[in-house]
Amino acid sequence: MTSLCSMAIGFTSLNVKNPDQKSGPFHVKGLKEDLNMKVIAFNGSARKNGNTAVLINYVLNELNNEGIETELYQLAGKKLQGCTACMQCFENRNKRCSIETDVLNECLEKMLAADGIILGSPTYFTDVTAEMKGLIDRAGFVSGANGGLLKRKVGAAVVAVRRAGSIHVFDTINHLFFISEMIVPGSSYWNVGIGMEKGDVDKDEEGIRTMKVLGQNMAWLMKKVCG
């Protein structure tokens, strides 16, 4: 499947405008410009509207402000098992996982159609959730088996944490991005928000600022890469 970025023929790079710093954490789909680019964000939390989703939506709002289409996909409540190491993706090379009984191939289709990918997870014993690990392992394997399906897409990690362990989660997600030859923007700090109960991350001013800057930098990078 051809990414939207590759379809933007003749599109010239735009200067990133100063985003509306008053925008809140809720994802609004209104677009200022038709840039023909899209970001898919996966929330790996068991809580659909918990702290991880709040953080992701701060990033998505900044992307929307720059005219980039976004979608938030919730893994909560969906079946997504781990990799079985059957190696069929290397045999079939059809851009799909051989396991057809869960949502992995649906997720993979969304990843291939997007120009940017956000993977968000809370911190479970210093690592990503089981669902997010399944997505990372299987999507990464299928990508590699088919010549690098995720190559040169823009990727960003978002992590929610109560106290410690978040950097391990951040590393786990970024390891997928780098081994897949993706391009990763930075922010003003590691992409982490601190909070325990639902909505607590809204009190983390530095975390919110980090997510907003991440969204701004991701938009800037996508316009350079896809322009």
Q: Give the domain ranges of the chain.
A: 35-226
Residue 3: pLDDT band with limits 50, 70, 90: low
pLDDT above 70 for 14: no
Whole-angstrom Cα distance, residue 142 to residue 42?
Answer: 17
| Nearest CA among 219, 223, 222 for reference residue 62 | 219
Q: What is the pLDDT of residue 35?
A: 66
Asked which of 21-25, 71-75, 181-185 is least confident by mean pLDDT, the reply is 21-25
- pLDDT at residue number 15: 37
> Which run of H or of E encompasses 120?
strand 116-122
Q: pLDDT tens digit string along 161-191?
A: 999 999 999 999 999 999 999 999 999 999 9
Mean pLDDT of 56-67: 98
Q: Taking a C-beta distance cutoff of 8 angstroms, is the pair 93, 146 a contact?
A: yes
Residue 149 has pLDDT above 50, yes or no: yes
- Higher-pLDDT residue of 76, 25: 76
Average pLDDT of span 47-60: 97
- Split at pLDDT 50, 70, 90, the class of 17 is very low
35-226 classified as CATH 3.40.50.360: yes
Percentage of the chain surpassing pLDDT 90? 83
Residue 211, pLDDT score: 98
How many Å apart are CA 32 and CA 105, to the nearest integer? 31
- pLDDT for position 23: 37
Q: What is the mean pLDDT of residues 139-151?
A: 98
The pTM score is 0.86
**Cα four-point dihedral sign 35, 106, 139, 71:** positive
**Res. 226 pLDDT band, cuts 50 70 90:** confident
Question: Residues of the chain with pLDDT > 70: what percent?
Answer: 84
Residue 108: pLDDT band (50, 70, 90) is: very high
| DSSP symbol at 101 | S
Residue 26 pLDDT grade (very low, low, confident, very high; cuts 50, 70, 90):
very low
